[in-house]
Amino acid sequence: MKPIIRYTGTIVVTAMVALAVAHYGFGVQTADAQATPPPAQQAAPAADGSNRAEPGAPAGDGSAGPVAPAAPPKVTIVEVSCDNATPAYTFTGAIDGQVASGSVVKFAMPPGVDIIPDNPTSAGLEVQAGQTRCLKFNEDGVFLFHSSTKQHGAITAIPWYDLLVNKEVEDLKGGNFWMPKAVNRTADDSDLMYYAVLGLSFFFFFAITGVVVYFVIKYRHRPGHKPEPSAAHNDALEITWTVIPTIICVFLFYYGWTTYVHLVTPPTKAVEVNVLAMRWNWQFTHANGVQDSDLHVPVNTPVRLVMTSTDVLHSFYAPVMRVKQDIVPRRYTYAWFFPTKPGTYRLTCAEYCGTNHSQMGITNDGRRAVLVVHEPGGYERYLADKAAESVKLPPDQLGKQLYEKKGCNACHTIDGSARVGPTFLRGFGTMVPLSDGSQVKMDENYIRESLMYPQARSRPGFPPSMPSFEGQLKDREIEGIIAYIKSLK
Ligand code: HEC
Ligand SMILES: [Cu+2]
């Protein structure tokens, strides 16, 4: 037989045998058909005042009239018995802390340290040295206090899901030198591939380099040493260096291929979240209409992302999920994962998308957008509580929230300085100079037009870079933004 036929034949036969062994012997589990069914999508805004309207607090009487009310300070801190309450936190000193609104906090003050409220809002927040009290914080807010030792402190009550969002990301806890930990069930397969290729590379790098060094020394030129004649060929050697690499390549191909197919094929039954990427912010929309700039998902359920962009290429990247997918304007791309562990994880844009690419998803207080995997039941609670929250917000508060959550703050400021776009501070009611030399009054209509058709009028010194928010803001939300800009005097 000609050598060429012999080699090709050996490779083909070895490849087929290896493929058969890989498939029948070690076939990886694919298809997620038997995955835990997703929790019944509850479209439940149910604004039945979750845990806010507490008996202790005077009922907010619902009718928030248009007149600026000099409302009496609400009683928002209520004492409860420590016996039948499970405290979410325990404070043992005069320190700053964040607590979830509606939760019970236990104060166990050591001798010599007591807590004295600083202002009327903090009424009820009194704990004497050596005393133990359980207090319930019913409303969001900042409660200031000082201690007899003149230390100042603040307890901030925020919605429970914001507490999760503010948590430090835990990607690196439990990770290793090569990768952060994996929280996606399918990630095990792709991690295995990574380590297999890495291990093989290490092995061959050191093996080949070692042999090269050894031969260089052993067969170096020296006086009286004759080079040996090269062998024409060596069957045993040739078969070895054909068969072994072929087996390795086939295994890498087989696992790479099946893992890839699994990674890009979402199960049909999954919790779906719509992702809208824009310069420089995320907008995640859930089944019941709740929108957020952080991604909240349930644990032990497949999650499918349907993603698009309003402007340029972005890329969704959640390292703990081992998922990275480009997001392209005017088309949908998909990603899916199966979170296995509740926690707060990193979330970034992995495609250069302009000046503030590295700041994408950053909030006013400098926090980055995160991926929150909820405990069982937490995701449904999040959807309901979040929906209830946006219904009861006053317009300017809603506007402030949108200003941050819709990413206006990536281009605008509220402190008087210009960024990519003009500042909002003291803008309302002023005359705005336009590129064509004319002027326009910044009123409700101008703001609305700027949001819907940003390029309708251009302003000198600012690039026409604002994305259109047409179809992305409800009327209530547009009014909220107007109210917020009005309030910035
Ligand atoms: C990618 C950057 C960018 C983002 C994001 C952005 N804007 Fe703008 N915006 C601009 C620029 C640039 C201008 C000025 C030029 C123009 O009108 O096209 C502008 C103009 C405006 C104006 C007119 C103000 C004036 O003084 O002329 C308003 C109002 C406005 N934006 C509101 C918003 C709101 C509300 C959001 C968030 C929902 C937002 N913008 C998001 C870049 C942005
Ligand atoms: Cu981006």
Three-state DSSP class for 392? Answer: helix
Residue ranges around ligand 1 (CB below 6 Å): 279, 406-408, 410-412, 420-422, 427, 432, 442, 447, 450-451, 454-455, 458-459, 462-467, 469, 481
Flag whether 258 is in a domain. no
Which domain does 479 fall in, by range? Answer: 393-487
Ligand 2 centroid – CA 326 distance (Å): 10
β pairing state of 141-146 and 152-158: antiparallel
Rg of the chain on CA atoms, in Å: 31
151 with 169, same domain?
no
Flag whether 192 is in a domain. yes
Q: How confident is the model at residue 460 (pLDDT cuts 50, 70, 90)?
A: confident
Flag whether 416 is in a domain. yes
277 with 171, same domain?
yes
What pLDDT is recorded for position 63? 38
208 with 310, same domain?
yes
| DSSP 3-state percent helix, strand, coil across the chain (nearest 5) | 30, 20, 50
Residues 6+ apart with CB under 8 A from 311: 278, 279, 329, 353, 467
Which range of 99-108, 129-138, 202-211 scores highest in mean pLDDT? It is 202-211
Residues 6+ apart with CB under 8 A from 23: 254
Q: Relative to the CA of 423, which ligand 1 atom is closest?
A: 26
Flag whether 141 is in a domain. yes
Task: Specify the amino acid at residue 273.
Answer: V
Rounded-to-integer distance, Cα 384 and Cα 382, Å: 6
274 with 149, same domain?
no
Residue owning tokens 């802390």 = 97
Segment 362-402, tens digit of pLDDT: 876 678 899 999 999 999 999 988 888 777 778 888 888 88
Among 363, 392, 421, give the residue marking a domain's end. 392
- Is the pLDDT at 66 greater than 70? The verdict is no
Judged by its nearest atom, the ligand closest to the C-alpha of residue 329 is 2
172 with 270, same domain?
yes
Rounded-to-integer distance, Cα 218 and Cα 207, Å: 16
Segment 18-58, tens digit of pLDDT: 788 777 766 544 444 334 444 433 333 333 333 333 333 33
Among 158, 181, 211, give the residue marking a domain's end. 158
What pLDDT is recorded for position 331? 93
Q: In this structure, which residue's CA is closest to atom 13 in ligand 1?
A: 421
Rounded-to-integer distance, Cα 487 and Cα 489, Å: 6
216 with 292, same domain?
yes
DSSP letters for 275-324: EEEETTEEEEE-TTS-EESSEEEESSS-EEEEEEESSS-EEEEEGGGTEE
Which of 357, 401, 412, 481 maximizes ligand 1 atoms within 8 Å of its Cβ, making it the mutation to test the pocket?
A: 412
How many separate domains does the chain show? Answer: 3
Q: In this structure, which residue's CA is closest to atom 19 in ligand 1?
A: 421
Judged by its nearest atom, the ligand closest to the C-alpha of residue 445 is 1
Segment 174-224, tens digit of pLDDT: 888 888 889 998 888 888 889 999 999 999 999 999 999 999 998 888 888
What pLDDT is recorded for position 271? 93
- Angle between helix axes 235-264 and 3-20 (nearest 10 degrees) is 40
Section 420-427 average pLDDT: 84
What pLDDT is recorded for position 207? 95
Which of 278, 283, 398, 408 maximizes ligand 1 atoms within 8 Å of its Cβ, making it the mutation to test the pocket?
A: 408
Three-state DSSP class for 105? Answer: strand
403 with 307, same domain?
no
